Amino acid sequence: MTSKNHDTSRDGNEDAVRAAIASVYKGWADNDADAFVAAYGPDATATLPGSHLPSRNAIRATMAALFAGQLKGSRAQYEVQAIRFLGDDAAIVTSKGGVVLAGQTEPPAKEWARETWVLAKVNGRWQVEAFHNCPEHAA
């Protein structure tokens, strides 16, 4: 049995995957729901504690409402911890993220979450197909 080793630094895939995720967080920092979902595929899903959003439109509508309400003026911090490529056009990213509410300088320690992203390369562009997060620490 052989295994393929992908040189992601050579072909730019790792940088492109990181850029797609960074664009999501840039949209958050700007409290811009359209920019937030620009890197999401049309059928992307987001699963969060207590909710499942079945499409990019649902994710956009939810974030627009949150940016107008409880997340107004917020941003998120994140750390990509690993990127694993599944061939040339799919990647799984694990990260750690936390919400920084208006007036805060960093997320409270108990508010950090573990995140899993599934991205696909579609027409030469990396896009988010699925996002999942769960609390890093039990309540």
Q: Quick one: 72 exposed, middle or buried, by C-beta within 10 A (0-12, 13-18, 19+)?
A: exposed
The boundaries of the domain holding residue 53 are: 11-135
Which residues, 6+ apart, have CB-to-CB distance to 29 below 8 Å? 75, 76
Q: Look up residue 88 and give its DSSP letter.
A: S
pTM assigned to the model: 0.90
Domains identified in the chain, total number: 1
Residue 116 domain-assigned (yes or no): yes
Q: What SS3 string covers 45-79?
A: EEEECCEEECCHHHHHHHHHHHHHCCCCCCEEEEE
Residue 110 domain-assigned (yes or no): yes
Give the pLDDT confidence of 81-118 residue by residue, as tens digits: 999 999 999 999 999 999 999 999 999 999 999 999 99
Q: Which CATH number fits the domain that encloses residue 55?
A: 3.10.450.50
Residue 1 domain-assigned (yes or no): no
